[in-house]
């Protein structure tokens, strides 16, 4: 095994994946949301850097090729698990997450079955966009949690009449309730749209991978 900077970055991304969930075990919200968001974004950025550096420096290795997809899938799966676990279990969130999780598990199992043949199946540019949209959607959804809990902290102790008066402009918005509510709403909407788009790309690339694998799955007579 060759340990170079690209491989080390990939390994750090793999370690960061469970770290996103750990943030919610040791920190209260919204601090857990902040730490999870920063850790996830930092790890996602390394996904671009490790591949770029490996190609630019001629340091592409079997270890990196093996670790990179595992790190990507671990980040996405664990982050989605955390987001759904702390959400209201809305079907608009659960359905695209289910598509993504099913595809990742299915393709991983298919690659394991194909063995060395899996490396010969060409990865499309659409598959790379799929990962980009997945990570962007997750980062935006984490930011929704930040807005939501700062809003909750700001309205603590207020009755519904006071909150309504502030949001309608009848009372001065000293605590920024309006922009926090707007941030929560827009982050939630944008995150869901991005997640649905990511789910669509995920399904398409999954079918594409299955079609390419079919000739290798035929029984010998």
CATH of the domain at 134: 1.20.120
In a domain, 220, yes or no: no
pLDDT for the residue 193: 95
Q: For residues 171 and 180, what is the distance between their CA atoms, to the nearest angstrom?
A: 16
Total domains in the chain come to 1
Burial 154-192 (b: 16+ CB within 10 A, else e): bbeeeeeeebeebeeeeeeeeeebeebbebbeebbebbb
- Per the domain annotation, does 17 fall within a domain? yes
| pLDDT of 99 | 94
Domain-located, residue 221: no
pLDDT at 198: 94
Q: What pLDDT does 221 receive? A: 55
Residue 219 in domain: no
> Distance (Å, rounded) from C-alpha 131 to C-alpha 100?
10
In a domain, 62, yes or no: yes
Q: What is the pLDDT of residue 45?
A: 86
Per-residue 3-state assignment (H helix, E strand, C coil) for 79-140: HHHHHHHCCCCCHHHHHHHHHHHHHHHHHHHHHHHHHHHHHHCCCCHHHHHHHHHHHHHHHH
* CB contact set of 72 (below 8 Å; sequence gap of 6+): 13, 47, 131
Range(s) of the domain holding residue 114: 5-214
Task: Name the pTM for this structure.
Answer: 0.84
SS3 state at 73 = helix
Structural domain includes residue 89: yes
Averaged pLDDT in 10-residue chunks for the chain of 221 residues = 77 88 86 89 83 73 77 89 83 92 87 71 78 91 88 82 83 84 91 94 89 74 55
Question: Interior CA angle at 68 toward 207 and 140, to 5°?
Answer: 75
176 inside domain:
yes
The reply to whether 136 falls in a domain is yes
Q: Which residues have a Cβ under 8 Å from the Cβ of 172 and sit 6 or more positions away? A: 166
């Amino acid at each position: 095994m060759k340990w170079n900077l690209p491989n080390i970055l990939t390994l750090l991304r793999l370690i960061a994946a469970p770290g996103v969930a750990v943030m919610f075990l040791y920190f209260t919200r919204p601090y857990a949301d902040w730490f999870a968001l920063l850790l996830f974004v930092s790890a996602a950025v390394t996904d671009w850097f490790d591949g770029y550096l490996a190609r630019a420096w001629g340091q592409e290795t079997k270890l990196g090729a093996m670790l990179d997809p595992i790190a990507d899938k671990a980040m996405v799966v664990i982050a989605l698990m955390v987001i759904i676990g702390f959400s209201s279990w809305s079907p608009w969130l659960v359905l695209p997450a289910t598509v993504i999780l099913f595809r990742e598990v299915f393709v991983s199992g298919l690659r394991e079955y194909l063995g060395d043949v899996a490396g010969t199946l060409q990865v499309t540019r659409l598959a790379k966009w799929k990962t980009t949209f997945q990570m962007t959607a997750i980062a935006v959804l984490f930011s929704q949690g930040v807005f939501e809990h700062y809003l909750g902290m700001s309205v603590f102790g207020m009755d519904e009449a006071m909150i309504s008066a502030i949001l309608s402009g009848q009372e001065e918005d000293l605590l920024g309730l309006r922009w926090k509510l707007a941030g929560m709403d827009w982050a939630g909407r944008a995150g869901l749209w991005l997640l649905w788009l990511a789910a669509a790309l995920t399904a398409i690339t999954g079918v594409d991978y299955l079609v390419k694998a079919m000739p290798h799955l035929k029984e010998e007579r």
